[in-house]
Amino acid sequence: MDLLDTLTAKGLRGDVPTREEALAVLATTDDELLDVVAAAGKVRRRWFGRRVKLNYLVNLKSGLCPEDCNYCSQRLGSKAEILKYTWLKPDQAAEAARAGVAGGAKRVCLVASGRGPTDRDIDRVTDTMAAIQEADPEVEICVCLGLLSDNQAERLKAAGADAYNHNLNTSEKTYGDITTTHTYADRVDTVKKAHGAGLSACSGLIAGMGESDEDLVDVVFALRELGSDSVPVNFLIPFEGTPLAKEWNLTPQRCLRILAMVRFVNPDTEVRIAGGREVHLRSMQPLGLHLANSIFLGDYLTSEGQAGQTDLDMIKDAGFEVEGAGEATLPRHRADVAAASSAASACGTAASACGSGGGCGPCGGHAHAPEAAPAPEAADALTATATAIEASGDELRSDLVKVRLRGAGTELAPNA
Ligand code: SF4
């Protein structure tokens, strides 16, 4: 297939395909799928070998967000029965992070719901990072707090953060269809602020919200142009109680084509399978490892993932290995670019426009939490399952979306 030969050759050189080539990947048939995976897999192995980076989510503050992101279980007016709690204390967050690191995670992702942090929130996160780094000095820390105001990224960098996550989620053209309380430009501004402060930029997308192939290609090329070092690919988790609860329009094959397209456009960038991996790839998850070089271990912000040990077994069974703390994730030339960006920012070229708008954005949802955790029996009773219909077969999938009711914000052991 000429297309795949061309894309493989470009990817092995680190070159980016054309828009038309990226669209053509999304248009391939199921008969061609394994050839697509094999071609993108060569590119993945060229830059990342057989390593899989594990990341661990700690939901610092869950639910009751004033923003209205349609995909999010924590949005304004969400009826999803998720955990809801205010800021975890530093020692609580550090305990949750330790579980993830003990399970093999190299990066801990500290996430809080909301439009964006106050300066007091930055103080809280600074204390939390100190508590985590005291126990695990080598752990990478990525922070996700929504839209940043001036100098907040610099403060996070000075406090020891390695990266900042803020997803673009979808194309500029359709952004207003999924959120009205902030804009695509607000999100771009925050990614630039993070990058400008010398933080590694982690920014990705959500597929399955009803977008077109053109929208997906638009956002993936925008992320490449923004210089995102890590691209999380979320597959919409249609939570009951959110406006997108009925959007079951992904199949495992479609997810693999999207991951392959993202890999071809970002040959030498960390590509992470994020929220929705278990829900939409299901038994095809191992094939996703041939495309992405990074996943989350265990649970997501507001939804359950598969058991952490199952993640580890899957990686091993598929012939991959967990990336160690001492191993570089990015290829050397990309790491050099990141370092140069960091050095250039040391003179303090903070972005001009004042940060407004906000929101984090990966995965599931969170909540505003009761101080006390639900008892195990109550947790079972509460385990809400979202009933939905998969477009590919009108099949009820009430078994697929489970609200997270363990780990951070509860007294139950985390899944790691
Ligand atoms: S994605 Fe972030 S900003 Fe948007 S509703 Fe959810 S928590 Fe709020």
Question: Between 213 and 364, where is the model more confident?
Answer: 213
> E strands within 78-237?
107-112, 140-144, 163-165, 200-202, 205-207, 230-235
pLDDT score recorded for residue 338:
64
pLDDT score recorded for residue 294:
98
Q: What is the DSSP letter of 15?
A: P
- The 3-state DSSP class for residue 58 equals strand
Measured CA to CA, the distance from residue 59 to residue 347 in angstroms comes to 33
Ligand 1 centroid from CA 280, angstroms: 22
Q: How confident is the model at residue 393 (pLDDT cuts 50, 70, 90)?
A: very low
Residue 281: strand pairing partners: none
pLDDT score recorded for residue 380:
41
Where helices occur in 199-354 by DSSP H, the ranges are 213-226, 252-265, 285-288, 308-317, 332-345
The answer, yes or no, to whether residue 179 has pLDDT greater than 80, is yes
* Tokens encoding 287: 């094939």
* Tokens encoding 364: 């599931």
Are 294 and 55 a contacting pair, CB within 8 Å? yes
What confidence tens digit (pLDDT) does each residue in 295-330 have? 999 999 999 999 999 999 999 999 999 999 889 999
- Amino acid in the structure at residue 144: C
Q: How confident is the model at residue 344 (pLDDT cuts 50, 70, 90)?
A: low
**What is the per-residue DSSP string for 229-261?**
SEEEEEE----TTSTTTT-----HHHHHHHHHH
Q: Is 347 a catalytic residue?
A: no
pLDDT score recorded for residue 193:
98
Residue positions counted in the chain: 416
Give the count of alpha carbons within 13 A of 124, CB side only.
18
**Mean per-residue pLDDT, 205-221:** 98
The answer, yes or no, to whether residue 336 has pLDDT greater than 80, is no
> Cα separations (Å) of 339 from 191, 333, 346, 379?
16, 10, 11, 45
Percentage of the chain modeled with pLDDT above 70: 85
Q: Nearest-5° angle of CA 344, CA 348, CA 354?
A: 120
Ligand 1 centroid from CA 69, angstroms: 6
Q: Is 109 a catalytic residue?
A: yes
Percentage of the chain modeled with pLDDT above 90: 82
Q: Which residues line ligand 1 (CB under 6 A)?
A: 65, 67, 69, 72, 74-75, 113, 115, 146, 358-361
**Mean per-residue pLDDT, 261-268:** 98
- Amino acid in the structure at residue 276: G
Atom of ligand 1 nearest to the CA of 359: 3
- Amino acid in the structure at residue 302: T
**Mean per-residue pLDDT, 124-145:** 96
Are 367 and 82 a contacting pair, CB within 8 Å? yes
Ligand 1 centroid from CA 348, angstroms: 29
Q: Considering only CA atoms, which of 230, 264, 29 is closest in space to residue 144?
A: 230
**Mean per-residue pLDDT, 264-271:** 98
pLDDT score recorded for residue 398:
61
Q: Which of 51, 75, 107, 109 is catalytic?
A: 109
Mean pLDDT for the chain overall: 88
The answer, yes or no, to whether residue 47 has pLDDT greater than 70, is yes
The answer, yes or no, to whether residue 371 has pLDDT greater than 90, is no
Beta strand 51-61 pairing with 107-112: parallel
**Mean per-residue pLDDT, 234-253:** 95
Q: How confident is the model at residue 347 (pLDDT cuts 50, 70, 90)?
A: very low
The answer, yes or no, to whether residue 184 has pLDDT greater than 60, is yes
What confidence tens digit (pLDDT) does each residue in 107-133 have? 999 999 999 999 999 999 999 999 999
Q: Is 69 a catalytic residue?
A: yes
Question: Between 346 and 43, where is the model more confident?
Answer: 43
Are 149 and 101 a contacting pair, CB within 8 Å? no
